[in-house]
Amino acid sequence: MRGVMLLVLPIAVIFSTCKAVEFYSIGGIFGDGPPPNPERMIFVQSAIRNNIRSNSSAFRPFHAAARLQHTKLANNAAVLRKMCVLLAYNVSLIVGVADFDVVNMVATTSQKIQLPFITPSFALKESFPDMEFDYVVSLRPSLVQPLLDMLEYNRWKQFAYIYDGKRGMRRADTFMQIFSRYDYDVIFKHLLTEEPITETLKNMRDSGRHHIIFDLSLDASENALRKLQANDLGMVTASYHYIFMDLDIGEIDMNQFQLGGLNLTGFRLLDKDSDAYQDFILDWRSYVKNSSYIEVDTNYFHLSNPAISVDMMDVALEALDMFRLDSRGSVRKKERALSCNLGTSYAPVPNRDGPKLIEIIKKVKLQGLTGNIEFDSRGDRTNYSVQILGLRQTGLEKVGTWNGQNENRLTFDTFTEDESPADAMSGRIYTVTSILSPPFLMLKKDADQRRGIDKYEGYCVDLLEEIVKVYKSKHSIFRYKIKLVADGEYGAQMENGKWNGMIGELIYGKADIAVAPLTINVQRERMVGFTKPFMSLGVSIMIKKPQDNQPGVFTFMQPLAPEIWMSIVFACIIVSVVLFQVSRFSPKEWHPVEHPPPTPSGTGEFNLNKPGERFVTEDREETENDFGIFNSLWFTVGALMQQGCELCPRSFAGRVTGSVWWFFTLILVSSYTANLAAFLTAKRMVMPISSAADLVDQTTITYGILKSGSTETFLKTSTVPVYRHMWEFMANSEDSPFANTTEEGVERVRKSNGKFAFLLESAMNDYYSQQPPCNTVRVGNLLDSKSYGIGVNKQLVDVRELVTLAILELQEQAILTRLEKKWWTSNNESCRIPNIPDHMSKTSALNLVTLAGIFYILLGGLAVALLVAGGNLFWRSRHEIIAAKSRYIEKHKARSPENKKKLPANPEAQTKGNGSHTPV
Ligand SMILES: *[C@@H]1O[C@H](CO)[C@@H](O)[C@H](O)[C@H]1NC(C)=O
Ligand SMILES: *[C@@H]1O[C@H](CO)[C@@H](O)[C@H](O)[C@H]1NC(C)=O
Ligand SMILES: *[C@@H]1O[C@H](CO)[C@@H](O)[C@H](O)[C@H]1NC(C)=O
Ligand SMILES: *[C@@H]1O[C@H](CO)[C@@H](O)[C@H](O)[C@H]1NC(C)=O
Ligand SMILES: *[C@@H]1O[C@H](CO)[C@@H](O)[C@H](O)[C@H]1NC(C)=O
Ligand SMILES: *[C@@H]1O[C@H](CO)[C@@H](O)[C@H](O)[C@H]1NC(C)=O
Ligand SMILES: *[C@@H]1O[C@H](CO)[C@@H](O)[C@H](O)[C@H]1NC(C)=O
């Protein structure tokens, strides 16, 4: 008793302070077993949750005080005393577990003191079909009609009904009455505690009863299954069919048994896919996190009993809220303390609100964890549905639904996959959720004819197989089945706070592991566990591969930029002129004419029109110069073409000119040849863009992304100016740049003739660029960096650890790289063009800047040649003048004066720039 008070007091204290808020007490009667007792905890903590919620929002704006009493449930006197204690606490109603032995007492007492009693323990229709309990409302749905419908559906005539426990006994009683109305041949067998079931089963087998209904507790059901599959019984072949009545039978791991082709049917109350269930789990989880009062783990709610308890409290609170609204304005008077007046002769003082409240409770309508909650006039559940479970390859799974309100109460799901009864297997099979996304996971071409995992192929399948191998090498087993994510999403938090996609399946326990291109991010990491990443990647740009430059007629022009060609022509002319000039100044270039001149007309003049110019000295000896302007040109062109001609400069200046020109042509021709070879062998491409900045800087190419993908999130939230700019451009674009699927975006790139670029994750980009028709290409660097990891249900900590170790091992052995190569390299010949390196410039013709050096050297050489020629001329002319002077003086002294007239001719010829006329 003192322990009870200790438990009650703190709760009472919390709420006794808030006077302003309306306030009701709820009594709870629960068993006194040792903690943890989920039902007891849920009772208290549901009330606390209600109070927190009513504080922060206008939801059920009253406070509930949970008055907890625990006692020996099977003891009439003890339970009665507790009920009276609660009455004295002025509780408005009582919730609690009712033992089948004391139900009658509880029902009559609650009627006498007018306290509604809500219980999760039984269904009236199932356990007390003939009784009227005015003040009892039961939360447990009846399985009578579902079982009858299943029997009819399976056309069972001869079967056995094995039951244990008090609930089983009551239910069996009910069925005995009902079955007597049908022409069923049934054997009922009450399994006593500690009685081994093997003998019973053997009797059934020997008497030819292959159809058995097991109305056993969960543990006993599991034990029965274990015995059934054992060698000495072996009652697991295709001729056997069992129905299990426990609502949690779906939680048993069927993979631990070696079940043959038998049929198993079970019932399940909780629809873990329902909105109500998922909302509740999320909500409760956030309370567990925020409040130190609430500590019941959400794992409890996988079982039906705690879930029914949650619904029971919800019904109680909802009823009180409705009652509060209903009695608004009327003053609640309590002149006297309520009491049972135990042991006195006075009549009990009942709860005056009772009759009204019980009516209200029966009108409550809710969506709870156990589905639609509604009551009939007796206080029994109505309009509820129960899932039908069947044995499939992966365990007991939902195969249909029973709904009492439907015309066809039984509806069976249709299965596209052909599923067979469970194979003989042992150990847990993990459910892997994934998504069809090439090349990570794809359906094989002949998937219709394949089953299970064999239907799929891709990187993820191989990755899983490798993980299995790593496990095997450590003598442990990792087995899995692949289940595609139902909604085809990766997983994001929706507006209502729930998660969809693969992340949602992990959170709500529908899958154990997610192996898919699943990006690791903070929000997801909070909800599920991620392994170490198996692939790193980033957002990248995809463009259409530019047309190959097919070698054209004038391809030979391409290795050099046009300005180079122009420069070469000018250089040729300039060099020729220089050569012409320096040859003229140099006496060495002049040599005697080998043949007599054809005409005498050239005397004293230069004939520019003829190659090989002649000069006639005063003594009529003819000399000529090979480097006339045309010969010079011929010499330069010949050198440029790498062809010799018999002309050869003999003067120093001419040779300097020739050398620098030869040097120039050497370099030029080598560069040209090398570049031409590159041009002709490699298919050159001109990348219109090579980075995100290029995209932003132009307007002809539009760009887009996948709708509501991680790329969108990245661009939307980025603070980098270039990416912000991109996002603004896309957001303001009239022509929607958002693709619904990756394929759609890639198709758009392929079709839009280079006018559209698509931003997507590099793994996809690389993959599509290797897929026929191979006309897309990834350009530029990655815009960001992230990684794909394997998501694991938060509860499976050890699995996450093991898979992480496996991934690290695969990484070390370079198996991940090998897999990547396998799935990312195309088998199609036409795709085998190596990707264009990022650094490739827009055009690779040699330009002036690259070749400027040889032009400088050429100019320098020409300048040197001119200087040398000039110096030579200067020195020679001085020498000539001195010589001429001395000759003149000599002649003047020695000869007659008629020679004087000839002398000035020489200087005159020199001033015309003809060079020395001294014959060699
Ligand atoms: C609700 O608010 C009242 C005061 O407004 C406070 O005393 C009480 O502790 C709050 N209850 C809970 C459960 O937060
Ligand atoms: C129950 O109500 C009576 C009358 O209003 C009051 O005297 C009594 O203290 C209340 N008991 C408790 C435990 O609140
Ligand atoms: C098992 O159940 C399926 C579907 O209900 C049925 O087609 C099959 O005949 C049953 N097998 C046995 C042995 O009852
Ligand atoms: C829990 O706390 C977070 C942050 O303080 C808040 O946003 C959320 O609403 C709280 N949840 C509940 C159920 O109070
Ligand atoms: C049964 O419950 C559903 C809600 O789950 C409701 O739509 C339907 O009308 C109910 N049927 C009856 C007959 O009350
Ligand atoms: C993308 O999806 C939206 C809505 O789902 C649809 O309206 C639109 O037409 C789709 N776009 C394309 C190109 O299919
Ligand atoms: C290779 O790609 C071309 C188109 O680029 C396609 O026509 C051909 O069928 C592909 N070959 C194979 C083996 O896939």
* 612 occurs within a structural domain: no
pLDDT tens readout for residues 633-690 = 888 888 888 887 777 888 888 888 888 999 999 999 998 888 887 776 655 556 778 7
Closest Cα to atom 5 of ligand 4: 290
Strand pairing category for 613-616 and 622-625: antiparallel
The whole-number pLDDT of residue 615 equals 54
Amino acid at 581: Q
pLDDT tens readout for residues 779-813 = 888 888 889 999 998 877 878 888 898 999 999 99
How many other C-beta atoms are found inside a 10 Å radius of the C-beta of residue 751?
10
Residue of 196, 17, 157, 25 whose CA lies nearest to 94: 25
Residue 137 reports pLDDT greater than 90 = yes
Domain extent, residue 672, equals: 555-591+624-684
CB of 866 within 6 A of ligand 1: the answer is no
Please give the helix or strand (H or E) that residue 15 lies within, else none: helix 2-16
Question: How far apart are the CA of 262 and the centre of ligand 3, in A?
Answer: 8
Residue 767 reports pLDDT greater than 60 = yes
pLDDT tens readout for residues 586-634 = 777 777 776 655 555 444 444 444 455 555 555 556 777 778 888 888 8
188 plus 236 within the same structural domain: yes
Cα–Cα distances (Å) from 167 to 49, 78, 105, in that order, read 31, 21, 17
The set of protein residues with a Cβ atom below 6 angstroms from ligand 5 is 372, 383, 405
Task: Please name which ligand lies nearest the alpha carbon of 238.
Answer: 3
Residue 388: what are its φ and ψ, rounded to 5°?
-95, 125
| Mean pLDDT taken over the chain | 81
Question: How far apart are the CA of 65 and the centre of ligand 2, in A?
Answer: 14
Residue 899 reports pLDDT greater than 80 = no
Closest Cα to atom 8 of ligand 1: 18
Most confidently modeled of 93-97, 258-262, 639-643, 693-697?
93-97
674 plus 782 within the same structural domain: no
Q: In what order do the strands lie in the sheet with 590-592?
A: 590-592, 622-625, 613-616
Residue 847 reports pLDDT greater than 80 = no
Task: Please name which ligand lies nearest the alpha carbon of 288.
Answer: 4
| Lowest-pLDDT range of 91-95, 347-351, 536-540, 579-583 | 347-351
- The atom number, within ligand 7, closest to the CA of 773 reads 5
Please check whether residue 906 is in contact with residue 864, taking contact to mean a CB–CB distance below 8 angstroms: no
Question: How far apart are the CA of 437 and the centre of ligand 7, in A?
Answer: 21
CB of 382 within 6 A of ligand 2: the answer is no
The whole-number pLDDT of residue 594 equals 66
Residue 363 banded pLDDT, cuts 50, 70, 90: very high
Amino acid at 292: S
Listed in sequence order, the DSSP H helices in 770-824 are 797-812, 815-824
Question: For the chain, what is the domain count?
Answer: 6
pLDDT tens readout for residues 382-396 = 999 999 998 876 778
Residue 550 banded pLDDT, cuts 50, 70, 90: low
Residue 841 banded pLDDT, cuts 50, 70, 90: very low
Residue of 281, 263, 284, 264 whose CA lies nearest to 272: 281
How many other C-beta atoms are found inside a 10 Å radius of the C-beta of residue 908?
11
The whole-number pLDDT of residue 159 equals 92
Handedness of CA 823, 828, 830, 832 (dihedral sign): positive
Residue of 80, 97, 96 whose CA lies nearest to 27: 96
Average pLDDT for 124-133: 89
Question: How far apart are the CA of 80 and the centre of ligand 2, in A?
Answer: 20
Average pLDDT for 685-699: 79
8 plus 127 within the same structural domain: yes
Closest Cα to atom 10 of ligand 3: 263
Closest Cα to atom 5 of ligand 6: 740
The beta strands (E) that lie in 442-494 are given as: 442-443, 456-457, 479-484
pLDDT tens readout for residues 521-544 = 888 898 888 999 999 998 899 988
514 plus 662 within the same structural domain: no
Task: Please name which ligand lies nearest the alpha carbon of 85.
Answer: 2
CATH code, domain carrying 702: 3.40.190.10
83 plus 9 within the same structural domain: yes
Please give the helix or strand (H or E) that residue 402 lies within, else none: strand 395-403
Q: What tokens were used for 658?
A: 């020739």
Estimate to the nearest angstrom the gap between the alpha carbon of 187 and the chain centroid.
56
258 plus 396 within the same structural domain: yes
CATH code, domain carrying 233: 3.40.50.2300
700 plus 839 within the same structural domain: yes
| Lowest-pLDDT range of 342-351, 454-463, 717-726, 907-916 | 907-916
Please check whether residue 134 is in contact with residue 378, taking contact to mean a CB–CB distance below 8 angstroms: no
* 603 occurs within a structural domain: no
Q: Which residue has the higher pLDDT, 310 or 692?
A: 310
The whole-number pLDDT of residue 334 equals 54
159 plus 252 within the same structural domain: yes
Residue 83 reports pLDDT greater than 70 = yes
329 plus 189 within the same structural domain: no
Q: What tokens were used for 501?
A: 């996609």
Q: Which of 334, 339, 340, 353 to mutate to test the pocket of ligand 2 (most atoms within 8 A of CB)?
A: 334
Distance separating alpha carbons of residues 484 and 511, to the nearest angstrom: 10
Q: What tokens were used for 213?
A: 């209904």
CB of 334 within 6 A of ligand 2: the answer is yes
Residues in the chain: 920
The whole-number pLDDT of residue 54 equals 87
Please check whether residue 197 is in contact with residue 217, taking contact to mean a CB–CB distance below 8 angstroms: no
The whole-number pLDDT of residue 833 equals 55
pLDDT tens readout for residues 395-405 = 788 889 999 88
Residue 266 banded pLDDT, cuts 50, 70, 90: very high
Please check whether residue 254 is in contact with residue 391, taking contact to mean a CB–CB distance below 8 angstroms: yes
440 plus 580 within the same structural domain: no
* 324 occurs within a structural domain: yes
The whole-number pLDDT of residue 587 equals 75
